[in-house]
């Protein structure tokens, strides 16, 4: 071994010995993203779903190839109060709907029609019975049917996409099976299959309501990026339409409140069905953008700031002609 090589190896050894082990502060922080609820805890929520479809009907035997546009918006505004906690988890919630309606634009129409849901202005209690099955009861009249309340659950659906173990920024996980069905519900069809691929991308400090509370202190949020793919049949019959969805977006988990504060997803939906009337085959396809937006406040949504009164000394602007 030459003297030069020996000297280089000696220097490298000294440098290696001089390196100190990482301090605890240098180690990556771990976060528990499991939701936390307390009896009597309150929240206010707003949720919207927007779906715009181009519907195409093809009947080759009759030389028909027809396209129409269809649009739907579902709006829910509500207040929740935790009415039961069991084993450290929420077991029941009392939900008061301020608004629950849909706006639809049917094929061939240029105008939207507003349809109030049976849940509009109603108060429900949603929870689990002694066997752990979903149970819904409503106050007042008229009585609500099982179909009216089929989408009601006692916690936010996309909590099912949160990790079951503590995670660090950069960690990934996949949601399938019962947790996938819990997250997407049966609005996309019965017994959906697929997966949600999740990645913890960052921790961000932000004021989510700059227009309502401009001077609010920024809060810390864990941002989870999601990629959702799902497929389901829109009914029990083999000839019922199939629906597939591919959505991407983010879940904002409040580290202070230990609950989801915001859900933002967007992507494409595809519907396909083939029906036969005798020897005639009718093929129907529909494709279009789908958006899901949810926002939650604890315990209430802030009131908008008061606008200053108009200065009576200012001249009235002239009318436009």
How many Cα neighbours within 13 Å face the side chain of 137?
Answer: 9
* Cis status, amide bond into 142, omega within 30 of 0: yes
Q: Span 211-233, mean pLDDT?
A: 96
The number of domains in the chain is: 1
Q: Is residue 20 in a domain?
A: no
| Model pTM score | 0.85
Nearest to 296 by CA among 252, 256, 255, 265: 252
Helix (H) or strand (E) holding 55: strand 42-59
Q: How many CB atoms lie within 10 A of CB 161?
A: 23
Q: Is residue 313 in a domain?
A: no
Q: How many CB atoms lie within 10 A of CB 126?
A: 20
- pLDDT, one tens digit per residue, over 149-191 is 999 999 999 999 999 999 999 999 999 999 999 999 877 778 8
What is the percent of the chain with per-residue pLDDT over 70, rounded to a whole number? 88
- pLDDT, one tens digit per residue, over 63-109 is 999 999 999 999 999 999 999 998 778 999 999 999 999 999 987 77
Mean pLDDT computed over every residue of the chain: 88
Q: Is residue 312 in a domain?
A: no
Q: How many CB atoms lie within 10 A of CB 34?
A: 15
Q: Span 212-229, mean pLDDT?
A: 96
Q: Is residue 2 in a domain?
A: no
Q: Is residue 224 in a domain?
A: yes
Sign of CA pseudo-dihedral 236, 237, 238, 242: negative
Q: Is residue 4 in a domain?
A: no
**CATH, residue 180:** 2.30.230
Give the pLDDT of residue 1.
Answer: 45
Asked whether the predicted pLDDT for residue 18 surpasses 80, the reply is no
Q: Is residue 22 in a domain?
A: no
Q: What b/e sequence results for 284-320 when a residue is b if at least 16 CB atoms lie within 10 Å of its CB, and e otherwise?
A: ebbebebbbebbbbeeebeeeeeeeeeeeeeeeeeee
C-alpha distances in angstroms, 241 versus 57, 74, 234?
13, 21, 5
Range of the domain at 178: 29-297
Beta strands of the chain (E only): which ranges? Answer: 42-59, 64-86, 89-105, 113-116, 123-128, 134-138, 172-175, 190-206, 219-233, 242-254, 259-277, 280-297
Q: Is residue 309 in a domain?
A: no
Give the pLDDT of residue 195.
Answer: 97
What is the spatial distance between Cα 224 and Cα 218, in angstroms, rounded to a whole number?
18
What is the spatial distance between Cα 317 and Cα 321, in angstroms, rounded to a whole number?
12
Take residue 194 and report the two structure tokens written for it: 């697929």
């Amino acid at each position: 071994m030459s003297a030069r090589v020996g000297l280089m190896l000696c220097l490298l050894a000294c440098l290696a010995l001089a390196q100190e082990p990482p301090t605890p502060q240098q180690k990556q922080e771990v976060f528990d993203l499991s939701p936390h609820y307390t009896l009597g805890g309150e929240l206010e929520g707003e949720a919207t779903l927007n779906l715009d479809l181009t519907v195409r009907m093809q009947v080759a035997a009759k030389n028909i190839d027809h396209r129409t546009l269809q649009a739907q918006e579902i709006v829910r505004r509500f207040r929740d109060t935790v009415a039961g906690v069991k084993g450290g988890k929420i077991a029941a919630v009392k939900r008061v709907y301020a608004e629950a309606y849909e706006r639809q634009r049917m094929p061939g129409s240029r105008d939207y029609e507003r349809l109030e849901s049976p849940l509009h202005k109603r108060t429900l209690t949603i929870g689990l019975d002694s066997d752990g099955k979903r149970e819904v009861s409503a106050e007042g009249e008229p009585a609500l049917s099982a179909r009216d309340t089929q989408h009601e659950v006692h916690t936010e659906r996309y909590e099912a996409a949160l990790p079951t173990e503590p995670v660090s920024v950069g960690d990934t996980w996949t949601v399938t099976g019962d947790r996938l069905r819990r997250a997407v519900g049966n609005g996309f069809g019965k017994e959906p299959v697929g997966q949600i691929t999740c990645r913890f991308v960052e921790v961000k400090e932000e004021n989510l309501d700059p227009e309502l509370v401009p001077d609010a202190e920024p809060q810390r949020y864990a941002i989870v990026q999601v990629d959702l793919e799902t497929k389901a049949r829109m009914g029990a019959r083999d000839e019922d339409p199939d629906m597939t969805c591919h959505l991407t977006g983010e879940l904002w988990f409040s580290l202070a409140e230990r609950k989801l504060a915001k859900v933002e997803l967007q992507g494409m939906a595809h519907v396909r069905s083939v029906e036969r009337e005798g020897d005639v085959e009718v093929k129907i396809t529909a494709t279009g953008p789908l958006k899901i937006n949810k926002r939650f406040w604890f315990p209430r949504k802030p009131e908008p700031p008061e606008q200053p009164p108009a200065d009576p000394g200012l001249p009235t602007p002239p009318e436009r002609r």
